Chains A and B, each alone.
Chain A
Amino acid sequence: MISVTHYVALSFLLFAIGVTGVLIRRNLLTVLMSIELILNAANLNLIAFSRQLGDLNGQLFAVFVITLAAGEAAIGLAIIISLYRLKNSVNLDAVSELKG
């Protein structure tokens, strides 16, 4: 019997993998993809509880989270392109102007 706990555990595992990706990767593109994984984990959580409680509001929140993810991806990728023009690299370590 699959309960809501299974979905919450899977969602958390996805979140942990996403956080790991944000922390350990040097490539900005992969970091952005890991953020998408984190947002997907949040969506899975919302929809699992929506199913458990029979409440449609969780699905509506997921719609808005997807909207947010689309905007975030567009802006983030534009920033990456503009950074690539500036530095000729998409490496996180290349962005070190503020380093003391």
Chain B
Amino acid sequence: MTAPFFFWFFAAIVVFGAVGVVAMRQPVHSALFLLLSFFGIAALFVTLRAEFLAAVQILVYAGGIMVLFLFTIMLVNIRKTAGEPFLHRQAGGALLVAFLLLAVVGGTIVASSRTSGLADAGQPADPAKLSTTTITRTVTETVDGKVVKTPVTEQVAGNSQAVAWSLYRDYLLPFEVASVFLLVAMIGAVVLGKRTMERVD
């Protein structure tokens, strides 16, 4: 699918960053490790021929969500909690559950790749499929004073264009619903963050 070096290199970065998120005591350090992980994932997207999503990953996650996280970390006073234990009381049981999950699902992946041949799941599809799309548009011309409309089928190249055509043609309704969702999230965040609630205790 891609040169093995790039996969292993960026996979190592992603896993290192993810472990850092969970293991670091200070939330600021966790956030920086999360940023590292996001960049690694964006690079993996490029190896998977999803260039547009790699850019979106960096813009939205590293640019937007990470800034939100850092703002919140600065707003809430963390220094005060520095002395407290940072792991939950149920950490032992939780780790056990996580390792069981790792063993069961990871074992399934390994076993299935060994028996049913997921490893040679066939050659990946032609990468050109991800970067070209066929569109049909109507060309309006005026010939001898008459308006002539002729449908034209053409190919557009480039991953961003292919994603854009699919997004605005096949996924128009989900796209609009997503925009309403973002509006609701924005209003909700403003209301939640603004109002001073009564203290309970």
The one of B73, B106, B125 in contact with A53, judged by C-beta atoms closer than 8 angstroms, is: B125
- B22 and A3 within 8 A (CB): no
Known: A82-B197, A90-B76. A54 touches B126 (CB 8 A): yes
Interface size (A, Cβ < 8 Å)? 75
Q: Contact residue range for chain B?
A: 35 or more
Cα–Cα distance between A43 and B27 once the two chains are bound (Å): 24
B96 CB to closest chain A CB (Å) equals 10
B67: shortest Cβ distance to chain A, in Å? Answer: 10
> B87 contacts A26, CB within 8 Å?
yes
Q: List residues of chain B with CB within 8 A of the CB of A86.
A: 197, 199-200
Chain A 14-25, CB-CB to B under 8 Å as 1, else 0, gives 101111110111
Cβ contacts under 8 Å, A47 to chain B: 45, 48, 50, 53
Decide if A2 is an interface residue (CB 8 Å cutoff): yes
Give chain A's interface residues, CB within 8 Å of chain B.
1-10, 12-14, 16-21, 23-27, 29-30, 32-34, 36-37, 40, 43-44, 47-48, 50-57, 59-60, 62-64, 66-75, 77-82, 84-87, 89-93, 97
B residues adjacent to A (C-beta < 8 A): 1-4, 7, 11, 14-15, 18-19, 21-22, 27, 30-31, 34, 37-38, 41, 44-45, 48-50, 52-53, 56-57, 60-61, 64-65, 68-69, 71-73, 75-76, 78, 81, 84-91, 94-95, 97-98, 101-102, 105-106, 109-110, 113, 118-121, 124-127, 129-130, 133, 162-163, 166-167, 170-171, 174, 178, 181-182, 184-186, 188-190, 192-193, 195-197, 199-200
